[in-house]
Amino acid sequence: MSRIPFPTRGPLLAVLLACAAMTVVFAASDPKAALPAEARKTAEALRDGAVRGTRAAEWVRGLTDTAGHRLAGSPGDRLGVAWATETLRAQGFANVRAEKVMVKVWKRGVETGEVTAPHRHRLVLTALGGSVATPEGGLEAEVLEVPSLEALDAKGEAARGKIVFFNKRMERRSDGADYVRAVDVRSGGAARAAKHGAVGVLIRSIGTDDTRHPHTGGTRYETTVPKIPAAALAGPDADLLERLGRLGGPVRVRFTLGCGDAPAAESANVIGEIRGREAAREVVLLGAHLDSWDVGTGAVDDAAGCGIVIEAARLIGQLPRPPRRTIRVVLFANEEHGLDGGNAYARDHAAELPLHTAALEADSGTGAPLGMSWTAGAAAEPVVKEIAGLLEPIGVRTLSPGSFGGADIYQLRKAGVPLFSFQQDMLRYFDLHHTDNDTFDKIDPHALDRMVAAVAVFAHSAASASHPFARIPEDQRQITPF
The residues assigned a catalytic role are: 335
- The span from the CA of 76 to the CA of 440, in Å, is 16
What is the number of other CB atoms lying within 10 angstroms of the CB of residue 243?
10
User: At a CB cut-off of 8 Å and minimum separation 6, what does 207 contact?
Assistant: 170, 215, 235, 430, 431, 433, 434, 435
- The span from the CA of 290 to the CA of 298, in Å, is 9
* Backbone angles phi and psi of 254, in degrees to 5: -120, 130
- The span from the CA of 40 to the CA of 345, in Å, is 31
Residue count of the chain, please give it: 482
Contact (Cβ atoms closer than 8 angstroms) between residue 72 and residue 335: no
The end-to-end CA distance of the chain, in Å, is 12
CA within 13 Å, CB half, 249 = 5
Omega of the bond leading into 7 within 30 degrees of 0 (cis): yes
Q: Which residues pair with 328 in a beta bridge?
A: 273, 285
DSSP annotation string for 310-333: HHHHHHHHTSSS--SEEEEEEEES
Query: For residue 203, which of 258, 148, 137 has the smallest C-alpha distance?
Result: 148
Query: For residue 182, which of 191, 171, 174, 192 has the smallest C-alpha distance?
Result: 171
Burial class (CB in 10 A: 0-12, 13-18, 19+), 199: buried
